[in-house]
Amino acid sequence: MINRSLGTSGLEVSAIGFGCMGLNHGYGHSLTENDAVAVIRSAVDLGVTFFDTAEVYGPYTNEELVGKALAPVRDQVVIATKFGFSIDGGRSTGLDSRPDHIRTTVEESLRRLDIERIDLLYQHRVDPQVPIEDVAGTVKELIEAGKVGHFGLSEAGVEIIRRAHVVQPVTALQSEYSLWWREPEAEIIPTLHELGIGLVPFSPLGKGFLTGTISGATSFSDSDVRSNLPRYSEQMRTAHQSLVDLVTAIGARNNATPAQVALAWILAQHPTNVPIPGTTKLHRLQENTAAVDVELSATDLDQLNAASAEVDLSTDRYPAHMQRWINR
Ligand SMILES: NC(=O)c1ccc[n+]([C@@H]2O[C@H](COP(=O)([O-])OP(=O)(O)OC[C@H]3O[C@@H](n4cnc5c(N)ncnc54)[C@H](OP(=O)(O)O)[C@@H]3O)[C@@H](O)[C@H]2O)c1
Protein backbone atom coordinates (compact mmCIF):
# COMPACT_ATOMS: atom_id res chain seq x y z
CA MET A 1 0.00 0.00 0.00
CA ILE A 2 1.20 3.50 -0.72
CA ASN A 3 0.25 6.68 1.11
CA ARG A 4 -1.39 9.85 -0.07
CA SER A 5 -1.73 13.29 1.49
CA LEU A 6 -5.21 14.70 1.93
CA GLY A 7 -4.86 18.00 0.08
CA THR A 8 -2.17 20.27 1.45
CA SER A 9 -3.07 19.51 5.06
CA GLY A 10 -0.20 17.13 5.62
CA LEU A 11 -2.56 14.39 6.80
CA GLU A 12 -1.11 11.17 5.34
CA VAL A 13 -3.35 8.17 4.79
CA SER A 14 -3.27 4.99 2.73
CA ALA A 15 -4.21 5.67 -0.90
CA ILE A 16 -7.25 3.46 -0.40
CA GLY A 17 -9.13 3.74 2.87
CA PHE A 18 -11.85 1.53 4.27
CA GLY A 19 -15.49 2.56 4.62
CA CYS A 20 -16.84 0.76 7.67
CA MET A 21 -20.52 1.64 7.24
CA GLY A 22 -21.67 -1.50 5.47
CA LEU A 23 -20.28 -3.78 8.16
CA ASN A 24 -23.45 -3.18 10.14
CA HIS A 25 -25.47 -0.43 8.48
CA GLY A 26 -27.16 0.36 5.20
CA TYR A 27 -27.25 -2.89 3.29
CA GLY A 28 -29.83 -4.78 5.33
CA HIS A 29 -27.45 -7.20 6.98
CA SER A 30 -24.85 -6.92 9.73
CA LEU A 31 -21.75 -8.91 10.41
CA THR A 32 -21.33 -10.12 13.96
CA GLU A 33 -19.07 -7.83 15.94
CA ASN A 34 -16.29 -10.43 15.88
CA ASP A 35 -16.48 -10.80 12.10
CA ALA A 36 -16.61 -7.03 11.57
CA VAL A 37 -13.58 -6.55 13.83
CA ALA A 38 -11.77 -9.25 11.84
CA VAL A 39 -12.46 -7.44 8.54
CA ILE A 40 -11.16 -4.13 9.91
CA ARG A 41 -8.03 -5.78 11.32
CA SER A 42 -7.42 -7.50 7.98
CA ALA A 43 -7.59 -4.09 6.34
CA VAL A 44 -4.86 -2.92 8.73
CA ASP A 45 -2.79 -5.98 7.82
CA LEU A 46 -3.16 -5.05 4.15
CA GLY A 47 -1.75 -1.59 4.84
CA VAL A 48 -4.96 0.43 5.14
CA THR A 49 -4.51 3.29 7.60
CA PHE A 50 -7.68 5.33 6.93
CA PHE A 51 -11.01 4.24 8.44
CA ASP A 52 -14.37 5.89 7.96
CA THR A 53 -17.34 5.75 10.30
CA ALA A 54 -20.09 8.07 11.56
CA GLU A 55 -22.25 8.61 14.63
CA VAL A 56 -25.31 7.82 12.53
CA TYR A 57 -24.10 4.42 11.28
CA GLY A 58 -25.99 1.94 13.38
CA PRO A 59 -26.66 4.46 14.90
CA TYR A 60 -23.76 4.38 17.27
CA THR A 61 -22.73 0.70 16.94
CA ASN A 62 -20.46 1.28 13.95
CA GLU A 63 -18.26 3.68 15.91
CA GLU A 64 -18.09 1.17 18.76
CA LEU A 65 -16.86 -1.65 16.58
CA VAL A 66 -14.38 0.59 14.78
CA GLY A 67 -12.98 1.66 18.13
CA LYS A 68 -12.73 -1.91 19.33
CA ALA A 69 -11.09 -3.16 16.12
CA LEU A 70 -8.51 -0.38 15.94
CA ALA A 71 -7.60 -0.13 19.63
CA PRO A 72 -4.44 -2.26 19.26
CA VAL A 73 -3.15 -0.11 16.39
CA ARG A 74 -4.60 3.24 17.40
CA ASP A 75 -1.37 5.17 16.84
CA GLN A 76 -0.86 3.77 13.32
CA VAL A 77 -4.24 4.70 11.83
CA VAL A 78 -6.37 7.72 10.97
CA ILE A 79 -9.94 7.48 12.25
CA ALA A 80 -12.59 9.67 10.62
CA THR A 81 -16.11 10.11 11.94
CA LYS A 82 -19.02 12.49 11.34
CA PHE A 83 -21.61 14.55 13.21
CA GLY A 84 -24.62 16.43 11.98
CA PHE A 85 -27.81 14.41 12.40
CA SER A 86 -30.42 14.35 15.12
CA ILE A 87 -31.08 10.74 16.03
CA ASP A 88 -34.23 9.43 17.62
CA GLY A 89 -35.58 5.92 18.00
CA GLY A 90 -32.57 4.41 16.29
CA ARG A 91 -32.72 6.50 13.13
CA SER A 92 -31.75 9.91 11.83
CA THR A 93 -34.67 12.31 12.04
CA GLY A 94 -33.12 15.50 10.69
CA LEU A 95 -30.05 17.69 10.63
CA ASP A 96 -28.47 19.20 13.71
CA SER A 97 -25.16 21.03 13.54
CA ARG A 98 -25.83 23.47 16.36
CA PRO A 99 -22.56 24.09 18.22
CA ASP A 100 -23.78 22.50 21.48
CA HIS A 101 -24.89 19.41 19.58
CA ILE A 102 -21.51 19.18 17.83
CA ARG A 103 -19.69 19.38 21.17
CA THR A 104 -21.92 16.72 22.74
CA THR A 105 -21.64 14.43 19.74
CA VAL A 106 -17.85 14.69 19.73
CA GLU A 107 -17.70 13.68 23.40
CA GLU A 108 -19.92 10.69 22.69
CA SER A 109 -17.97 9.70 19.58
CA LEU A 110 -14.71 9.88 21.52
CA ARG A 111 -16.20 7.61 24.17
CA ARG A 112 -17.60 5.09 21.66
CA LEU A 113 -14.39 5.04 19.63
CA ASP A 114 -12.43 4.87 22.88
CA ILE A 115 -9.90 7.41 21.66
CA GLU A 116 -8.70 10.79 22.91
CA ARG A 117 -8.74 12.59 19.57
CA ILE A 118 -10.80 12.21 16.40
CA ASP A 119 -8.24 12.45 13.60
CA LEU A 120 -10.70 13.78 11.00
CA LEU A 121 -14.13 15.09 11.93
CA TYR A 122 -16.64 15.72 9.14
CA GLN A 123 -19.91 17.57 9.16
CA HIS A 124 -22.02 14.78 7.61
CA ARG A 125 -24.51 17.08 5.90
CA VAL A 126 -24.73 20.87 5.66
CA ASP A 127 -27.35 22.20 8.09
CA PRO A 128 -29.11 25.21 6.53
CA GLN A 129 -30.28 26.31 10.00
CA VAL A 130 -26.73 26.84 11.27
CA PRO A 131 -24.29 29.23 9.57
CA ILE A 132 -21.28 27.24 8.38
CA GLU A 133 -19.04 29.79 10.12
CA ASP A 134 -20.51 28.65 13.45
CA VAL A 135 -19.90 25.00 12.55
CA ALA A 136 -16.31 25.66 11.45
CA GLY A 137 -15.72 27.84 14.52
CA THR A 138 -16.93 25.07 16.83
CA VAL A 139 -14.68 22.50 15.16
CA LYS A 140 -11.80 24.98 15.37
CA GLU A 141 -12.30 25.17 19.15
CA LEU A 142 -12.36 21.37 19.34
CA ILE A 143 -9.09 21.25 17.37
CA GLU A 144 -7.54 23.81 19.72
CA ALA A 145 -8.73 21.69 22.67
CA GLY A 146 -6.95 18.66 21.18
CA LYS A 147 -10.14 16.65 20.74
CA VAL A 148 -10.11 16.79 16.94
CA GLY A 149 -7.23 16.68 14.46
CA HIS A 150 -8.68 17.85 11.15
CA PHE A 151 -11.93 19.30 9.81
CA GLY A 152 -13.90 17.83 6.93
CA LEU A 153 -17.19 18.38 5.13
CA SER A 154 -19.43 15.88 3.39
CA GLU A 155 -21.57 16.65 0.34
CA ALA A 156 -21.06 20.41 0.75
CA GLY A 157 -21.17 22.80 -2.20
CA VAL A 158 -18.57 25.36 -3.23
CA GLU A 159 -19.95 28.34 -1.33
CA ILE A 160 -20.09 26.40 1.94
CA ILE A 161 -16.61 24.95 1.35
CA ARG A 162 -15.13 28.41 0.79
CA ARG A 163 -16.86 30.00 3.79
CA ALA A 164 -15.88 27.13 6.10
CA HIS A 165 -12.29 27.15 4.88
CA VAL A 166 -11.87 30.82 5.90
CA VAL A 167 -12.73 30.01 9.52
CA GLN A 168 -11.01 26.63 9.82
CA PRO A 169 -9.02 25.11 6.95
CA VAL A 170 -10.84 22.11 5.55
CA THR A 171 -8.66 19.02 5.12
CA ALA A 172 -11.04 16.86 3.10
CA LEU A 173 -14.39 16.81 1.40
CA GLN A 174 -16.13 13.45 1.47
CA SER A 175 -18.64 13.19 -1.36
CA GLU A 176 -20.04 10.60 -3.68
CA TYR A 177 -17.70 10.32 -6.66
CA SER A 178 -17.20 7.46 -9.07
CA LEU A 179 -17.45 6.55 -12.72
CA TRP A 180 -21.19 6.45 -12.10
CA TRP A 181 -21.37 9.89 -10.39
CA ARG A 182 -19.00 12.54 -11.69
CA GLU A 183 -21.19 15.52 -10.88
CA PRO A 184 -18.59 17.02 -8.44
CA GLU A 185 -16.24 17.60 -11.39
CA ALA A 186 -18.25 20.61 -12.59
CA GLU A 187 -17.59 23.02 -9.71
CA ILE A 188 -16.63 21.24 -6.53
CA ILE A 189 -13.44 19.44 -7.51
CA PRO A 190 -11.81 22.52 -9.11
CA THR A 191 -12.53 24.39 -5.88
CA LEU A 192 -10.92 21.63 -3.81
CA HIS A 193 -7.80 21.76 -5.96
CA GLU A 194 -7.64 25.56 -5.73
CA LEU A 195 -7.90 25.45 -1.92
CA GLY A 196 -5.67 22.39 -1.38
CA ILE A 197 -8.46 20.21 0.01
CA GLY A 198 -8.39 16.43 -0.46
CA LEU A 199 -11.32 14.48 -1.92
CA VAL A 200 -12.51 11.32 -0.18
CA PRO A 201 -14.89 9.68 -2.65
CA PHE A 202 -17.61 7.65 -0.98
CA SER A 203 -19.52 4.92 -2.82
CA PRO A 204 -16.50 4.67 -5.16
CA LEU A 205 -17.87 1.34 -6.43
CA GLY A 206 -21.33 2.81 -6.98
CA LYS A 207 -22.52 0.83 -3.94
CA GLY A 208 -21.49 -2.31 -5.80
CA PHE A 209 -22.94 -1.48 -9.23
CA LEU A 210 -19.55 -0.85 -10.85
CA THR A 211 -18.22 -4.24 -9.73
CA GLY A 212 -20.27 -6.14 -12.29
CA THR A 213 -22.05 -8.18 -9.60
CA ILE A 214 -25.30 -6.21 -9.86
CA SER A 215 -27.56 -5.86 -12.88
CA GLY A 216 -31.01 -4.53 -13.67
CA ALA A 217 -32.40 -7.88 -12.56
CA THR A 218 -30.87 -7.77 -9.06
CA SER A 219 -33.39 -7.32 -6.25
CA PHE A 220 -32.66 -5.82 -2.86
CA SER A 221 -34.39 -6.39 0.47
CA ASP A 222 -36.49 -3.55 1.89
CA SER A 223 -33.86 -2.94 4.55
CA ASP A 224 -31.14 -2.45 1.92
CA VAL A 225 -30.80 1.29 1.21
CA ARG A 226 -30.40 0.51 -2.50
CA SER A 227 -34.06 -0.59 -2.69
CA ASN A 228 -35.05 3.04 -2.08
CA LEU A 229 -32.53 4.97 -4.18
CA PRO A 230 -33.93 6.49 -7.38
CA ARG A 231 -30.55 6.09 -9.09
CA TYR A 232 -30.64 2.41 -8.21
CA SER A 233 -33.96 1.68 -9.92
CA GLU A 234 -34.05 -1.28 -12.27
CA GLN A 235 -34.41 1.17 -15.15
CA MET A 236 -31.31 3.16 -14.13
CA ARG A 237 -29.21 0.05 -13.62
CA THR A 238 -30.26 -1.35 -16.98
CA ALA A 239 -29.58 2.00 -18.66
CA HIS A 240 -26.02 2.08 -17.31
CA GLN A 241 -25.11 -1.57 -17.85
CA SER A 242 -22.96 -0.61 -20.86
CA LEU A 243 -20.72 1.42 -18.54
CA VAL A 244 -20.22 -1.62 -16.30
CA ASP A 245 -19.54 -3.76 -19.38
CA LEU A 246 -16.80 -1.36 -20.44
CA VAL A 247 -15.29 -1.32 -16.93
CA THR A 248 -15.29 -5.13 -17.05
CA ALA A 249 -13.67 -5.24 -20.50
CA ILE A 250 -10.96 -2.77 -19.49
CA GLY A 251 -10.35 -4.89 -16.40
CA ALA A 252 -9.93 -7.99 -18.54
CA ARG A 253 -7.19 -6.41 -20.65
CA ASN A 254 -5.40 -5.15 -17.50
CA ASN A 255 -5.71 -8.42 -15.59
CA ALA A 256 -7.88 -6.53 -13.11
CA THR A 257 -11.41 -6.86 -11.78
CA PRO A 258 -14.12 -4.26 -12.47
CA ALA A 259 -13.90 -3.05 -8.86
CA GLN A 260 -10.17 -2.49 -9.28
CA VAL A 261 -10.72 -0.52 -12.48
CA ALA A 262 -13.34 1.66 -10.77
CA LEU A 263 -10.91 2.44 -7.93
CA ALA A 264 -7.87 2.87 -10.20
CA TRP A 265 -9.85 5.40 -12.26
CA ILE A 266 -10.49 7.48 -9.11
CA LEU A 267 -6.83 7.28 -8.05
CA ALA A 268 -5.76 8.40 -11.53
CA GLN A 269 -7.93 11.51 -11.47
CA HIS A 270 -5.87 13.38 -8.88
CA PRO A 271 -3.06 12.55 -6.44
CA THR A 272 -5.06 13.63 -3.41
CA ASN A 273 -8.13 11.46 -4.12
CA VAL A 274 -8.51 8.78 -1.45
CA PRO A 275 -11.50 6.47 -2.07
CA ILE A 276 -13.03 4.54 0.83
CA PRO A 277 -14.68 1.40 -0.58
CA GLY A 278 -16.53 -0.83 1.87
CA THR A 279 -17.01 -4.57 1.91
CA THR A 280 -18.01 -7.28 4.35
CA LYS A 281 -15.85 -9.88 2.60
CA LEU A 282 -12.15 -10.54 3.13
CA HIS A 283 -11.44 -11.59 -0.46
CA ARG A 284 -13.03 -8.39 -1.75
CA LEU A 285 -11.02 -6.34 0.73
CA GLN A 286 -7.85 -7.84 -0.74
CA GLU A 287 -9.15 -7.21 -4.24
CA ASN A 288 -10.03 -3.59 -3.52
CA THR A 289 -6.78 -2.69 -1.77
CA ALA A 290 -4.79 -4.26 -4.63
CA ALA A 291 -6.31 -1.63 -6.93
CA VAL A 292 -3.41 0.67 -5.97
CA ASP A 293 -1.26 -1.47 -8.27
CA VAL A 294 -3.55 -1.17 -11.29
CA GLU A 295 -2.30 1.41 -13.77
CA LEU A 296 -4.76 2.34 -16.46
CA SER A 297 -3.42 3.52 -19.81
CA ALA A 298 -4.36 6.84 -21.40
CA THR A 299 -6.60 4.88 -23.79
CA ASP A 300 -8.31 3.10 -20.89
CA LEU A 301 -8.92 6.42 -19.14
CA ASP A 302 -10.19 8.09 -22.33
CA GLN A 303 -12.66 5.27 -22.92
CA LEU A 304 -13.86 5.31 -19.31
CA ASN A 305 -14.21 9.08 -19.35
CA ALA A 306 -16.18 9.03 -22.58
CA ALA A 307 -18.57 6.32 -21.41
CA SER A 308 -19.10 7.78 -17.94
CA ALA A 309 -19.73 11.24 -19.40
CA GLU A 310 -22.97 9.74 -20.78
CA VAL A 311 -24.30 8.89 -17.30
CA ASP A 312 -27.65 10.45 -16.42
CA LEU A 313 -26.98 12.91 -13.58
CA SER A 314 -30.52 14.29 -13.50
CA THR A 315 -32.09 11.60 -11.33
CA ASP A 316 -31.93 12.16 -7.57
CA ARG A 317 -29.49 9.95 -5.73
CA TYR A 318 -31.67 9.67 -2.66
CA PRO A 319 -35.38 9.37 -1.85
CA ALA A 320 -37.01 12.71 -1.02
CA HIS A 321 -36.59 12.46 2.77
CA MET A 322 -32.80 12.04 2.33
CA GLN A 323 -32.32 14.19 -0.76
CA ARG A 324 -33.50 17.24 1.24
CA TRP A 325 -30.38 16.78 3.39
CA ILE A 326 -28.16 17.64 0.43
CA ASN A 327 -27.81 21.41 0.79
CA ARG A 328 -25.40 23.00 -1.60
N1 LIG B 1 -20.56 10.76 3.69
C2 LIG B 1 -21.61 10.09 3.31
O3 LIG B 1 -22.72 10.63 3.26
C4 LIG B 1 -21.47 8.64 2.94
C5 LIG B 1 -22.50 7.98 2.24
C6 LIG B 1 -22.33 6.63 1.91
C7 LIG B 1 -21.16 5.98 2.26
N8 LIG B 1 -20.18 6.65 2.95
C9 LIG B 1 -18.92 5.98 3.33
O10 LIG B 1 -18.33 5.40 2.17
C11 LIG B 1 -18.08 4.03 2.38
C12 LIG B 1 -18.23 3.24 1.08
O13 LIG B 1 -19.43 3.58 0.41
P14 LIG B 1 -20.62 2.59 0.07
O15 LIG B 1 -20.72 1.45 1.00
O16 LIG B 1 -21.82 3.48 -0.07
O17 LIG B 1 -20.29 2.07 -1.40
P18 LIG B 1 -19.15 1.24 -2.14
O19 LIG B 1 -17.94 1.14 -1.31
O20 LIG B 1 -19.09 1.85 -3.49
O21 LIG B 1 -19.83 -0.20 -2.31
C22 LIG B 1 -20.03 -1.07 -1.26
C23 LIG B 1 -20.83 -2.23 -1.83
O24 LIG B 1 -20.07 -2.88 -2.84
C25 LIG B 1 -19.88 -4.26 -2.54
N26 LIG B 1 -18.48 -4.56 -2.89
C27 LIG B 1 -17.37 -4.02 -2.33
N28 LIG B 1 -16.25 -4.49 -2.95
C29 LIG B 1 -16.67 -5.33 -3.91
C30 LIG B 1 -16.01 -6.11 -4.88
N31 LIG B 1 -14.68 -6.08 -4.99
N32 LIG B 1 -16.76 -6.88 -5.73
C33 LIG B 1 -18.10 -6.89 -5.64
N34 LIG B 1 -18.80 -6.15 -4.73
C35 LIG B 1 -18.09 -5.37 -3.88
C36 LIG B 1 -20.17 -4.41 -1.08
O37 LIG B 1 -20.79 -5.65 -0.82
P38 LIG B 1 -20.09 -6.80 0.07
O39 LIG B 1 -20.09 -6.30 1.46
O40 LIG B 1 -21.02 -7.96 -0.14
O41 LIG B 1 -18.73 -7.00 -0.52
C42 LIG B 1 -21.19 -3.28 -0.81
O43 LIG B 1 -22.49 -3.74 -1.11
C44 LIG B 1 -19.08 3.62 3.46
O45 LIG B 1 -18.65 2.48 4.15
C46 LIG B 1 -19.11 4.85 4.33
O47 LIG B 1 -18.03 4.81 5.25
C48 LIG B 1 -20.33 7.96 3.27
Regions of the chain with pLDDT less than 70: none
pLDDT digits (tens, 9 = 90+) for 289-305: 999 999 999 999 999 99
Q: Is 52 a member of any domain?
A: yes
Domain count, the chain: 1
Q: Does a structural domain hold residue 218?
A: no
Residue 51's pLDDT is what?
Answer: 99
**282 CA to centre of ligand 1 in angstroms:** 14
> Which residue ranges have their beta carbon within 6 Å of ligand 1?
19-22, 27, 52, 154-155, 174, 202-208, 211, 213, 259, 276-281, 284, 287-288
Q: How far is CA 132 from CA 99, 100, 106, 280, 309, in A?
A: 10, 14, 17, 35, 32
d(CA 51, CA 105): 19
258: in domain: no
CA distance 101 to 77: 27
For residues 37 and 233, the answer to whether their CB atoms sit within 8 Å is no
Q: Is 165 in contact with 159 (CB distance < 8 Å)?
A: no
Question: 28 in a domain, yes or no?
Answer: yes
Q: How far apart, in whole angstroms, are the C-alpha atoms of residue 77 and residue 156?
A: 26
Does residue 254 belong to any structural domain of this protein?
no
Q: List the CATH number of the domain containing 140.
A: 3.20.20.100
Tell me: the pLDDT tens digits for 229-261?
999 999 999 999 999 999 999 999 999 999 999
Which sequence positions are flagged as catalytic?
57
**Candidates 280, 281, 325: which one to mutate for ligand 1, based on the most atoms within 8 Å of Cβ?**
281
Using the mean position of ligand 1's atoms as its centre, give its distance from the Cα of residue 220 in Å. 15
pLDDT at 104 (0 to 100): 98
In a domain, 216, yes or no: no
Residue from 55, 92, 205, 274 to probe ligand 1 pocket by mutation (most atoms less than 8 Å from CB): 205
Domain extent at residue 16: 3-206+264-293
Structure confidence at residue 138 (pLDDT): 98
**H or E element in which residue 188 lies:** helix 188-195
Residue 76 lies inside a defined structural domain of this protein: yes
Residue 223 located in a structural domain: no
List the one residue out of 101, 175, 113, 94 whose CA is nearest residue 142. 101
